[in-house]
Structure 1
Amino acid sequence: MKIARMAEVDFTSLTSGRTYTPSPAAWEDQVFYFLMVDRFSDGKESNYRDNSGALVTDGSTPLFTLSQASNISREQWVRNGQGWKGGNLKGMIGKLGYLQRMGITALWVSPIFKQVNFLETYHGYGIQNFLELDPHFGTKEELVTLVEKAHELGIYVILDIILNHTGNVFSYNPDRYPVAGTNYYDPRWDGRLYDVAGFNDAEGRPTVPFRAEATTNPDAAVFPLELQEPATFTRKGRINSWDYHPEFLEGDFCDLKDVRHGSGPDDHYVPSRALEVLAAAYKYWIALADVDGFRVDTVKHMEIGATRYFASVIHEFTQSIGKERFFLIGEITGGRSRAFNTLEQTGLDAALGVDDIPDKLEYMVKGYRNPEDYFNLFRNSTLVGKESHTWFRNKVVTLFDDHDQVRKGNRKGRFCADNEGWKVLLNVLAVNVLTLGVPCIYYGSEQYFNGHATEDRDGNDVFLRECMFGGNYGALQTKGCHFFNEESAAYVEFAKIIEVRRREIALRRGRQYLREISGDGMIFGLPRMMGGQIRSVVPWSRILDQQEVVTAINTDYNNARTAWVTVDSGLHNLNRPFVCLYSTDGSQIGKCEP
């Protein structure tokens, strides 16, 4: 049923008599997988295994083979990257078994709500209707089915949501900053309120009056109808200085229109009607589909009071229906201090680690960062005011690849983009899931995706968003072949590592220590770079109560390495052996060493 007004939603009727899926005991026990719906699966693949493990052979898209790599030119592949590609919820439903067998237990789904009609915002971040799904992605019934099937397979579902802004739902009146080739203007923030020409119609023209309840046309303006108020928007033009206060709070995010959330000091914040409506809209999706958490976009650009209000509303509602630990993850750019302070002040449950963590993680594994640089990110107890293992265990979602890679500027590229990244892909997957934090894998990483910008390109995000199902924008510069390969080396070995993590609670909840190494058993020191690189064993321990699990990777791409490694002397004696839980050399697994 389509809903035009938030007031039409009867929460009592939606929730009455239903039993909702409870939250997990600990989110740090989970392994997340982030996918972009439009780029994941269209349901037309062949020669893959369905949710039960049975081989599907009646699809039209064959499984990728190495002989198909680069089967189109780079230039054509780049041209193919923009716009809608056809991934949908139905395709996702059929690939849940692929994720479960890999060991994934939580699925982070890119925004699926209805986008503005006249732009191909396939990524989902340009919402026009907060109460409907975009037809490119599917139906409400398919969302409900996706969550139900995921829960049956032990997978939680996290929806990506936006509070900070809407899509490009109105146009400014002519002013100082014209947009070439149009009759309209794109003013930048300078602190003043700009006039608006009107809400945009289905073709993107501002023909709809900019007033309350201006239209019921589902493809025009913004919905629910309560948002069709001039007071919904700050109307101060686009952000140019991304760290200037209050510009980064009041300005539009490019052509995405900033929402006015309220006013007042943090402790006495008065939410706007728009914020109340948006919070109610997201409560609706929880009530309807039984989702387990939200990843909240662009939290940096919201006032602390607004974020606190939203977190309180959502947590109170979810507790009332039996989801005691509904997970709210904030995308909080601007460094660790800002992230920690925002979590403490707002009640969000975790921050998305998109700043230092992926940089230090990627280049430590590749041998171009000191291991201390990465491990010390989890040790700054002075900054966070808490023991590191207490804070980082469940307060930070860690990842090494993502859909934006703001940290890389114009040279964006996946982990496997360089010539030798594939050799240590399993290392970075292992470090991500076996160190502190709630680990998250970006779709396709387990299949060696290598999308990247080149010298003559601008680093557009599209290079990080290849199609898992192929189409005309498949990974590895291909078209017409899919990548749901459960026999690829990275997939197979990564599944084994996740299983060890599942069995060993210390690897999920234990405190963490980078360990010293030695070549002779006499002189020990932390592994460090020499001559601008490190080719060495890098070991660390996870300790919980009386259990220590020692883990190590080798940053030497081409040679085996051995080293003496320190352990906790208080937990071991000379007669107590270590048992090998996992190795890429399968013959070592189960062996005991004193």
Structure 2
Amino acid sequence: MPFEEPGHVRPSSKSNSYYPSPTAWEDQQLYFLLPDRFSNANEDGTLDATGAQVKGSIKAFIAADNGNAIKSSFDARVWEENGVVFQGGTLKGIKSKLGYLKRLGITAVWVGPIFKQVPNDDHLYHGYAVQNFLDIDPHFGSREDLRDLVKSAHEQGIYVILDIILNHSGDVFAYKNGEKRWNGRRFEVEGFRDSTGAPNLPFRPLDLRNQPKNPESCAIWPSELQSPDSFTCEGAISDWDHWPEFIRGDFLSLKDINLGNDSPDDFAPTRALQTLCQAYEYWIAYADLDGYRIDTVKHMGDGPTRYLCTTIHEFASSIGKNNFFLVGEVTGSRAFETVELTGLDAALGVGNLQEKLWKLPKGYAAPAEYFDLFRNATFLKKGTNAWMRDKVVTMIDDHDQVWRGGNDKARFCSESEGDKLCLAAVGLNLTTLGIPCIYYATEQRFDGRGASDRYIREAMFGGNFGPFRTKDRHCLDESNPVFQEIAKITAIRQEYATLRRGRQYLREISANGKDFSLPYIIGGRMRSIVAWSRIFADQEIICAINTDTEKSTQAYVTIDAGLHFGGAVLRRIYPTPSDNKFLPDEVQVKELNGKAVLLTLPPCGFAMYL
């Protein structure tokens, strides 16, 4: 029987009732996970969506398990090698942990790429080397598994954002006489790869009347992408900031798809871009998705990105998803300009913003360096920092850590007492401007660090590349203190619109009640209270962290003089677990520096007052 292209039909937009979009994405709390590294549904002692305990073959991690996979140099090498191959996480595994996510306070889960990868390469666990844009990679499950996951997530009140790629495909063809480096010209192609990976097929649409063996694993799908015009064929990028090289070059071995002129003026989409947009429309309708995270937007160009955003937003709106979320990975200095030019809803804060968010709680970045990123009206061409509330997704950790560069990758908890300061960092992330996102396992204080991305992509369910240099031990522990405190903070954030939509101000502090200034670094590391306000209408919430890991710290904190009067009291709405012996339930407003309150925080503490 001839191979028939799977799913090459656009579902009717009138045939289903679709899950509506949220009113505002800044109201959401995101969680980013890699499907291969999150869950395989076999973790013993975890809780299902109803809170009932589940039996499984993988035992829970305990402290004595730390390092159980690296007891010898040989074992350590095996563990490291497992970090670059599939570990076994699945879509069914994600579904099995929706209760875990809901109890953490997550309202939207961002799932890494799941489309069918180039065959015969076990290193493509990350999902960014697509061979078939209309099918799910069998490592992760099936199309039905995706639809079932989304349906179950919606039943739990959780939106689903899927990671998608348009800039490139997997390594689906080979250049003649080996791989090439970009030099501005088109190179000759040896042929499409067959199901074994050999470039034995003509570089043109497959002839399905005389089809090759296992055609579904040959070349690229859908079939429209098999045209030679679908690819730029100009070799791999060497200079990642040189135009047009970073637009038209291959992303290492991943082959650049010809999306059209990068300028948005008088833009005409290529057939390849139209095909990809139709494929992603298909997945919205088929699985009832709520948003897309778009990979490598910088390398797509503004023209193709604008076309994608217009096309997807219009299609989603036509089926009742009027606020379908499109967030772009835009590295470099053009993130916010790109958002406005293209119609993206938001950019990922994975560069300078993530660096400051990482360093501030550890005392290695002055607070103004982080907070000024939200209020620099000259750079943003905005008159108010409120614009930032829904235009950037903020996160402490992610799977790439592009701001670190080179081969030094690390999770927040791996260095500089990050394990102690984790809660302060998460508190900062969840209560400052932007759409907050938690990278999977931050709530379990994973400490991955190493010479490549693999070390910050541990298998949360154990596998052969588990966290804390382990194997066969899962870390889905809802009794973890950080998990429990994040759940409290996210609940408070949901209760108060001020923490989601309010304006933001870094506050001056004083040790003596007379000399007020913004906190700054002394002696290489700042050990201080850092306080900020969120103000919405006539409500102000004061948030504060202590970057000192050893001592409690006291400071007068400036508050809005127009919203408070002397002698009034502010009520504590969140303390860290050890705060009770340090912090009173109420603090009195003083006539200092306009108005101020005296706060005392324990080491690594976080608190909120209203």
TM-score category (smaller protein) = over 0.9
1:82 aligns with 2:75: no
Q: 1:535 maps to which residue?
A: 527
**How far did 1:263 drift?**
3.5
| Partner of residue 179, structure 1 | none
CA–CA separation in structure 1 for the residues paired with 2:345 and 2:440: 23
Return the offset for 1:400: 1.2
Amino acid at match of 1:326: F
How much does 1:302 deviate? 1.1
Change (3 A) 1:505 1:590: farther
Distance 1:563 1:214 in 2: 74
1:415 lines up with 2:412 in the alignment: yes
Could you say which residue in structure 1 is the equivalent of 2:94?
Answer: 92
Query: Which residue does the alignment assign to 1:166?
Result: 169
Q: TM-score, normalised by structure 1?
A: 0.94
Trace 1:512-531 onto structure 2 (pairs within 5 A): 512-531=504-523
Q: Distance in 2 between matches of 1:214 and 1:22?
A: 42
Query: How far apart, CA to CA, are the structure 2 residues paired with 1:3 and 1:372?
Result: 60
Q: How far is the alpha carbon of 1:419 from its aligned partner? A: 5.8
Measured after TM superposition, the shift of residue 267 of structure 1 is: 2.2
Greater alpha carbon shift after TM alignment, 277-286 vs 256-265? 256-265
Aligned residues: 573
Q: 2:394 aligns with which of 392, 395, 398?
A: 398
Match of 2:341 among 345, 348, 353: 345
The alignment partner of 1:580 has SS state of strand
| CA shift in 2, pair 1:126/1:170, >3 Å | same
Q: Judge which range, 267-276 or 66-75, deviates more.
A: 66-75
Residue 363 of structure 2 corresponds to 367
More displaced, 547-556 or 216-225?
216-225
Equivalent residues of 2:168, 2:256 under 8 A apart: yes
Cα offset, 1:489, TM superposition? 0.9
Contact 1:5 1:226 (C-alpha < 8 Å) held by counterparts? no
The secondary structure found in structure 1 opposite 2:216 is: coil
Aligned amino acid, residue 11 of structure 1: P
CA-CA distance at 1:389 after TM superposition: 2.7
Counterpart pick for 2:572 among 577, 580, 584:
580
Question: Which residue number in structure 1 is paired with residue 136 of structure 2?
Answer: 133
Deviation at 1:560, TM superposition (A): 0.9
Cα displacement string for residues 145-167 of structure 1 (whole angstroms, at most 9, x for unaligned residues): 10011111111000000000000
**Secondary structure at the counterpart of residue 570 of structure 1:** coil
Query: Is the CA contact 2:8–2:222 (under 8 Å) kept in the aligned structure 1?
Result: no
Aligned to 1:331: 329
Residues 330 and 10 (structure 1 numbering): CA distance in 2 closer, same or farther, change over 3 Å?
Answer: closer
Match in the other structure for 2:560: 568
Q: Do the aligned partners of 1:213 and 1:229 also contact (CA within 8 Å) in 2? A: no
How many Å separate the matches in 2 of 1:391 and 1:234?
37
Say which SS state the counterpart of residue 55 (structure 1) adopts. coil
Question: 1:249 corresponds to which residue?
Answer: 247
Distance 2:77 2:510 in 1: 49
Shift of 1:77: 2.3
Displacement of 1:119: 1.7
Secondary structure of the equivalent of 1:49? coil
Name the residue aligned to 1:144.
147
**Distance 1:86-1:374 versus aligned 2 partners, 3 A rule:** same
**Aligned residue for 2:112?**
110
Shift of 1:349: 0.5
Cα displacement string for residues 473-521 of structure 1 (whole angstroms, at most 9, x for unaligned residues): 1101111110110000100111111111111111111010110111111
Amino acid at match of 2:396: F
**Is the 8 Å Cα contact of residues 4 and 225 (structure 1) preserved in structure 2?**
no
After TM superposition, the structure 1 stretch with the greater mean CA deviation from structure 2, 417-426 or 523-532, is 417-426
Q: Is 1:119 matched with 2:121?
A: yes
Residue 143 of structure 2 aligns to which amino acid in structure 1? K
Q: C-alpha distance in 2, partners of 1:4/1:333?
A: 39
Post-superposition offset of 1:416: 0.8
Distance 1:290 1:173, change over 3 A: same
Question: Is 1:497 matched up with 2:489?
Answer: yes
Deviation at 1:587, TM superposition (A): 3.6
Residues in 1 aligned to 2:4 and 2:539: alpha-carbon distance in whole angstroms: 56
Partner Cα separation in structure 2 for residue 470 and residue 7 of structure 1: 34
The aligned counterpart of 1:591 is 585
* Cα drift, residue 118 of structure 1: 2.1
Separation in 2, partners of 1:561, 1:100: 34
**d(CA) in 2 for partners of 1:555, 1:131:** 48
Does the alignment pair 1:554 with 2:546?
Answer: yes
The equivalent residue for 1:440 is 437
Alpha-carbon deviations, 1:64-85, whole Å to 9, x = none? 1111111121434212212111
Q: 1: distance between equivalents of 2:258 and 2:4?
A: 21
Preserved contact between residue 346 and residue 390 of structure 2 (Cα < 8 Å): yes
* Aligned counterpart for 1:431 among listed residues 420, 428, 431: 428
> 3-state SS of the aligned residue for 2:133?
strand
The residue that corresponds to 1:474 in the other structure is 466
Paired letter, 1:500: I
- Equivalent in the alignment of 1:45: 43
Per the TM alignment, residue 213 of structure 1 is displaced from its structure 2 partner at its CA by 3.2
Contact 1:389 1:510 in 2 (8 A): no
Supply the distance in 1 between the matched residues of 2:514 and 2:293 (Cα, whole angstroms): 48
Partner of residue 593, structure 2: none
1:361 Cα deviation from its structure 2 partner: 1.0
CA contact (8 A) 1:87 1:137 kept: yes
- Distance across 2 between alignment mates of 1:359 and 1:262: 33
Q: For structure 1, which segment, 206-215 or 241-250, has the greater mean C-alpha deviation from structure 2 after superposition? A: 206-215
Shift of 1:11: 2.7
Shift of 1:462: 0.6
The 2-side partners of 1:150 and 1:416 are apart by: 29
Native 8 Å contact 2:262 2:301 kept in 1: no
Q: Which amino acid aligns with 2:414?
A: A
- CA displacement, residues 312-364 of structure 1 (integer Å, 9 cap, x when unaligned): 000000111111110000000012xx111111111111000111111111111
1:220 equivalent among 218, 221, 225 = 218
Is residue 224 of structure 2 the alignment partner of residue 229 of structure 1? no
CA contact (8 A) 1:211 1:228 kept: yes
Q: Which runs of 5+ in 2 are unaligned?
A: 71-75, 589-610
Task: Specify whether residues 3 and 42 from structure 1 end up closer, same or farther in structure 2 by C-alpha distance, changes over 3 A only.
Answer: farther
Q: Which residue of the other structure, out of 58, 61, 64, is the alignment partner of 1:64?
A: 61
Q: CA deviation at 1:421?
A: 1.1
Partner of 2:385: 389
Distance 1:172 1:229 in 2: 15
Q: Determine which of 188, 191, 204 is the counterpart of 2:197.
A: 204
**Equivalent residue in structure 2 for 1:510, among 502, 507, 525:** 502
* CA deviation map 1:186-205 (0-9, x unaligned): 11000011000000112211
Contact 1:264/1:270 (8 A) holds in 2: no
Structure 2 counterpart SS, 1:266 = coil
Kindly provide the CA deviation profile for residues 394-413 of structure 1, in whole angstroms up to 9, marking residues without a partner as x.
Answer: 00001110101122122110
The 3-state SS of whatever aligns with 2:316 is: helix
Q: Is the 8 A contact 1:581 1:590 kept in 2?
A: no
Structure 1 residue aligned with 2:266: 268
Q: 1:423, 1:282 → 2: CA distance?
A: 42
Name segments (4+ residues, structure 1) moved above 3 Å.
2-8, 213-216, 585-590
Q: Which moved more, 1:123-132 or 1:64-73?
A: 64-73
C-alpha contact (below 8 Å) 1:260/1:274 kept by paired residues:
yes
> Does the residue aligned with 1:408 lie in a helix, a strand or coil?
coil
Task: Tell me the amino acid that sits aligned with residue 125 of structure 1.
Answer: Y
Q: Please name the residue that 1:305 is paired with.
A: 303
Cα deviation per residue 1:252-283 (whole Å; 9 max; x = unaligned)? 00000000112485221110100000000000
Structure 2 counterpart of 1:465, one-letter code: R
* TM-score, normalization by structure 2: 0.92
Cα distance in structure 1, aligned partners of 2:423 and 2:193: 48
Where does residue 278 of structure 1 map in the other structure?
A: 276
SS where residue 142 of structure 1 aligns?
helix
Deviations 1:436-477 (A, max 9, x none): 000111101110111111xxxxx2111110000001111011
1:11 — aligned with what?
11
Q: In structure 2, do the counterparts of structure 1 residues 249 and 294 end up closer, same or farther at CA, with 3 Å as the change threshold?
A: same
Contact 2:232 2:258 in 1 (8 A): yes
